[in-house]
Structure 1
């Protein structure tokens, strides 16, 4: 390939603000497409909307790593119908406005399919953007019920939804003997939806919700909230948002003398929750997606991931890997890159075997069966319950 052509590719990617998977990015960092071979004209372009910057960037990078492993394996076996896969990152930063801009750029880049999606608030506003172009979207992590409710027809979810997670939460609360539960969220699509659905389900089961509080993302001082929660004698607090702020709340709850159970949703299912909360995090319960460490089928994947990236795969790595492989399977069954054909192939998926189990979609294009597990922080690590 000529140097002139490489310069043209580099300039084009800079203008689009996209990064080819594997390059990584920072908010003001220059793009470096030379870190991975440029796409050939016949390659199949797949977009990856992920948070590569912002407070949830750890998840975004972890999912990108897993997707890249799947792509490398697929391409090593000859690709899809003789064509290689090329992935293009769209950094949504878990922000609705940035997600919308990233989605439009991915469409302009000519992607034929989308896999990824971590934050529900960044996924929901992009659904119609992809659907208008008949671009199939496999959502690998985001799970607000708003996704299914607003699904225009092209989107399939392979993570358990808020409905699935709520069922698991209520089951856990009962097991822990809780009667008075306090809910804490951050007002975004994901945490608000999970909190509201849990409140309804818990009350419907004849139990009490003593408070439902909304904090601000990035909040540093939870002292007033801690005092309020203690005064209401909540025997269990359920944090439904993400790990960074969740870890700080846990520390301040324990420092403030709260003795009850603390449960966090899957948005906090990350080893950094343990690192950031320190000793205060001991005993915390975590609703989690199917983590590689606890999946017999994922051992080879986990070993390969650690060998390649020198770290343990995160909570959503198996689902990210599965999502890419499922999209590749749908592309093969569709016999090409026609969007409508791929969407139909996804709809027809039955018992696709991934690391996290078998995938068959319900009528609303979510999983037929929940895949959530419960972990607890014990001895500075997650332990399956």
Structure 2
């Protein structure tokens, strides 16, 4: 891959996002900035993280920051990166595109040399041209819409399974339980729509009957229209690909309307708040597609203890992926012997079997994982937390 031509012509989507960029994004920070991240050869190396620290998804921001900080602390205790201390700089993106653009520009101005954040795909997508123009490579720990890598930007790498891979796990589970009719509901956000479309396509290819598809507006309280449609059509499995606020309401309202099939949710809904919103007695049929959390990973007890000591609370979703995002980026810089964009990208592409929580990592040509690593989780009625149900290996 040629990295000298990375400032290529954008599609309309990225061009629109780039129009939001502040004028400082292309001329300050990054590798040449004076914020201490890369310009001072003796100063700290700064990694930036955009994550939701406000808004409905704020719990995930704390998990991500603490996981990343644990990796930073361990790396510094072992001598740092290229003999320099590593530091983490965080900004709130609130899972909102406009807020994310402002946060990305702030990180560039602060002189970060790499990005290790990204939770909501819709908020992460418009930051891609900002970091690309600034020469900042990205290892994205959570956001996983296919659109993140479809542009082929050289500095974008995903260490969470893609929407295509997650949809494949959903289809596999549908077949496993003998479902022959399925439905998909999304909330029109980039992540949700991408996952739903991929599920519908793969379900049809597998010979399943797609009973219906629907898109809802996030933030509402009444989803009785789609709940009634679910009850009327009675697909054997519905895949909700949005977030837990709306998902919990749809699960409750569809059950009240008479839907009796499996209610499968995507990883954006895998949180204990889903059960809290749905209410007692409304989650018996709820399962989810998800990558494994620390409590599901064999041999993670020591890591969980270290995280809990740092954070004062147990780790949650995307804490391990954020931990690994820092480690992957740090290893690439160490291998490159440099923080220069082209050198780091080449080193990321050259990683071969680097050990992560998801297993040995080697990036594909499109800078994604070779395997998604998705499992099926269900809700523990005693705690409301999602727990491992099926690793899909049988």
- Global fold match (TM > 0.5): yes
How far residue 268 of structure 1 moved from its aligned partner, in angstroms, is 1.2
- Tell me how far apart the structure 1 counterparts of residues 180 and 265 of structure 2 sit (CA, whole Å): 17
- Tell me how far apart the structure 1 counterparts of residues 322 and 275 of structure 2 sit (CA, whole Å): 22
- Tell me how far apart the structure 2 counterparts of residues 302 and 238 of structure 1 sit (CA, whole Å): 31
Q: Which deviates more, 227-236 or 43-52?
A: 227-236
How far residue 283 of structure 1 moved from its aligned partner, in angstroms, is 3.2
SS in structure 2 of the partner of residue 116 of structure 1: coil
How far residue 309 of structure 1 moved from its aligned partner, in angstroms, is 2.7
- Could you list the per-position Cα deviations for residues 313-360 of structure 1 after superposition, in whole angstroms to 9, with x for gaps in the alignment? 112111111111111111111112212211111110111101221111
Q: Which deviates more, 369-378 or 136-145?
A: 369-378
The residue number in structure 2 matching 1:339 is: 341
The residue number in structure 2 matching 1:313 is: 315
The residue number in structure 2 matching 1:145 is: 146
Q: How does 1:194-343 map to 2 (within 5 A)?
A: 194-279=195-280, 280-343=282-345
The residue number in structure 1 matching 2:131 is: 130
- Tell me how far apart the structure 1 counterparts of residues 115 and 83 of structure 2 sit (CA, whole Å): 20
How far residue 285 of structure 1 moved from its aligned partner, in angstroms, is 0.9
- Tell me how far apart the structure 2 counterparts of residues 283 and 235 of structure 1 sit (CA, whole Å): 11
Unaligned runs of 5+ in 1: 1-15, 17-38
How far residue 265 of structure 1 moved from its aligned partner, in angstroms, is 0.6
How far residue 72 of structure 1 moved from its aligned partner, in angstroms, is 1.2
State the TM-score, normalized to the length of structure 1.
0.87
The residue number in structure 2 matching 1:167 is: 168
- Tell me how far apart the structure 2 counterparts of residues 81 and 148 of structure 1 sit (CA, whole Å): 29
- Tell me how far apart the structure 2 counterparts of residues 309 and 244 of structure 1 sit (CA, whole Å): 25
Q: Which deviates more, 162-171 or 272-281?
A: 272-281
Unaligned runs of 5+ in 2: 1-23, 25-39
The answer (yes or no) to whether the contact 2:71–2:323 under 8 Å persists in 1 is yes
State the TM-score, normalized to the length of structure 2.
0.85
- Could you list the per-position Cα deviations for residues 140-181 of structure 1 after superposition, in whole angstroms to 9, with x for gaps in the alignment? 011111011023110110000011111111000111221221
CA shift in 2, pair 1:193/1:374, >3 Å: same
How far residue 40 of structure 1 moved from its aligned partner, in angstroms, is 11
Query: Would you identify which runs of 4 or more consecutive aligned residues in structure 1 move more than 6 Å?
Result: none
- Tell me how far apart the structure 2 counterparts of residues 62 and 337 of structure 1 sit (CA, whole Å): 27
The residue number in structure 2 matching 1:383 is: 388
SS in structure 1 of the partner of residue 279 of structure 2: helix
